[in-house]
């Protein structure tokens, strides 16, 4: 048996970095106290979700990965508690800026960075103004508690993200998130849709999936506000939710999985054995017209 306990968290953010780091650390400590080995914090938890507005002043929030104060802080926390921590941050790299995540192993080692591949752009989610499309490609991280595949928010809507990490050897999937109300249509509630899509990724790839979202109402700088709906959850290898937070409360969720048992189930089920990647050319084109048969 190779039991691993994974945790999802959710919290409301202020506009003060030190307050958010302190609150996030408390959640990590609470999760570790419940036996968690891998703890997921939400996307861009250092402050408000600033992508409600297109304002150049927010570019100053980006900092290089090397020596980043929040990453360094959580390296110490990970080392002390013996937990794996994916840490979301706004990365400056030369003249580029990325929505990135650093993977901190349970001994405090910084394993490297993944840069968000899919960048959304819509009312209240104006991320193309702030982030370049990630250039790292999908990654899988060998940690002291198993192999992690980590995507970021909008990545979670694309089955190619989850499948790519699964075929690269991931044993668990993690998605830090910032999602809530839609400014163009306040009646549109995507929470259940958001969950079901990711539950499908867990079921299709026969592995646990963890999603952490933020809570609370945050003001924009142009008279808008967004309410984030939480609903963070953990799904098992069939896609069933085994732990779920509500929409409003700061929460730590945990669940334990036997990774060896799940590996046997994936082998038995035959999903990866029976894949036909030579037939999937249409997926790598924008209009679906690419074909191994040479027919348009």
Residues designated catalytic? 43, 116, 153
> In this structure, what are the phi and psi dihedrals at residue 20, rounded to the nearest 5 degrees?
-70, -40
Instruction: Catalogue the E-assigned strands of 145-284.
Output: 146-150, 172-176, 209-212, 215-219, 225-229, 233-235, 241-244, 251-258
**Using CB atoms within 10 A of its CB, is residue 271 exposed (0-12), middle (13-18) or buried (19+)?**
middle
> How far does Cα 167 stand from its chain's mean position?
18
Smallest CA-to-CA distance from 257 within 177, 145, 166, 167 is with 145
> How far does Cα 98 stand from its chain's mean position?
14
Contacts for 81 with CB less than 8 Å, ≥ 6 apart:
28, 29, 32
């Amino acid at each position: 048996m190779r039991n691993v306990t994974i945790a999802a968290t959710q919290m409301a953010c202020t506009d003060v970095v030190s307050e958010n780091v302190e609150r996030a650390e408390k959640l990590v400590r609470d999760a570790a106290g419940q036996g968690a080995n891998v703890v997921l914090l939400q996307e861009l938890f250092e402050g408000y979700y600033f992508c409600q507005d297109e304002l150049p002043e927010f570019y100053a929030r980006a900092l290089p990965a090397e020596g980043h104060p929040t990453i360094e802080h959580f390296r110490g926390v990970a080392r002390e508690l013996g937990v794996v921590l994916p840490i979301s941050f706004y990365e400056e790299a030369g003249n580029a800026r990325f929505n990135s995540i650093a993977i901190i192993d349970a001994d405090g080692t910084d394993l490297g960075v993944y840069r968000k591949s899919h960048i959304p752009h819509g009312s209240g989610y104006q991320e193309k103004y702030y982030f370049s499309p990630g250039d790292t490609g999908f990654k899988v991280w060998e940690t002291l508690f198993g192999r992690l595949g980590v995507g970021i928010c909008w990545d979670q809507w694309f089955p190619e993200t989850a499948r790519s990490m699964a075929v690269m050897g991931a044993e668990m999937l993690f998605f830090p998130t910032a999602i809530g109300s839609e400014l163009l249509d306040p009646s549109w509630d995507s929470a259940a849709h958001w969950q079901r899509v990711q539950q499908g990724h867990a079921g299709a790839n026969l592995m646990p999936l963890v999603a952490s979202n933020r809570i609370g109402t945050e003001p924009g700088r142009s008279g808008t506000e967004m309410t984030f709906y939480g609903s963070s959850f953990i799904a098992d290898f069939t896609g069933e939710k085994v732990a779920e937070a509500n929409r409003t409360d700061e929460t730590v969720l945990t669940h334990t999985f036997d990774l060896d048992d799940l590996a046997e189930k994936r082998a038995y089920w035959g999903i990866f054995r029976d894949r036909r990647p030579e037939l999937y050319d249409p997926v790598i084109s924008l209009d679906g017209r690419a074909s191994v048969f040479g027919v348009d």
